[in-house]
Amino acid sequence: MSTNKSAATAPKVLVVDDDSDIVELLEYNLTKEGYSVLTASNGKKAIEIAKSFIPDLILLDIMMPQLDGIETGRLLRQNPDINHTYILFLTARSEEYSEVAAFDAGADDYITKPIKPRALMSRINALFRREAQKAESGDTIEILDLSINRKNYTVTQAGEKSVILPKKEFELLFFLAQTPNKVFSRDELLQKIWGVDIYVLERTVDVHIRKLREKLGEKYIKTLKGVGYMFSNEKE
């Protein structure tokens, strides 16, 4: 079913894969759903296109010549204009270490091949629906010395320079900060942040928590062994 998006408001998708048949399949289905689509056959070209296209979503193959998907994802995340872009990795590899590496490089989702177009389109449409729902809720949380701004995905710490966070890191922080001192299990966080229709490893949460601590410090998010994580609003 088409999403009937207008040309002016259609989310922009960049498809990156060295398999021309997969690119053609994805481009056809995305265009049919009303998305604005550009394609690239390798990581270097994808980075070049993304700088001017500023996609809302990148479908990124991992096994590619010249520059693999993991390194491409890392380089894309270094561009502040693309920091809010969803990155969905596409791969024939299903090993756990590959999935962890993908999320460590900034992935929002990880999809194994062979690709089922209808299932993939459903996932992408659900992703953008959740994004629209989040935009309707409150914009800013002020807690401890943090100002967490949902409009631009920034966190200002002690009035200093703002830190721009990738989408999933920001959403995880925002969610935990909304209910300080409440402990959430990894499974609960996966369902709340990634959604029930997306399968990712529980270790994905650990990766994102580690990245948040590296950027903001250890004091905000506490670990309860065997239980989960919580945002602590206790002053040290």
User: Tell me, what's the pLDDT at 66?
Assistant: 82
Report DSSP letters for 30-60, one per residue.
Answer: HHHTT-EEEEESSHHHHHHHHHHH--SEEEE
User: Tell me, what's the pLDDT at 59?
Assistant: 96
User: Tell me, what's the pLDDT at 196?
Assistant: 62
User: Tell me, what's the pLDDT at 1?
Assistant: 38
Tell whether pTM > 0.95.
Answer: no
User: Tell me, what's the pLDDT at 2?
Assistant: 41
End-to-end CA distance of the chain: 53
Q: Residue holding tokens 């088409």?
A: 2
**Structural domains present in the chain:** 12-134 (3.40.50.2300), 137-231 (1.10.10.10)
Residue ranges for the chain with pLDDT beneath 50: 1-4
Taking the alpha carbons of 184, 186, 187, 193 in that order, is the dihedral positive or negative? positive
User: Tell me, what's the pLDDT at 91?
Assistant: 84
Q: How many CB atoms lie within 10 A of CB 6?
A: 7
User: Tell me, what's the pLDDT at 147?
Assistant: 93
User: Tell me, what's the pLDDT at 133?
Assistant: 63
pLDDT averaged over every residue in the chain: 86
Q: What is the pLDDT of residues 205-220, one digit of tens each?
A: 998 999 999 999 999 9
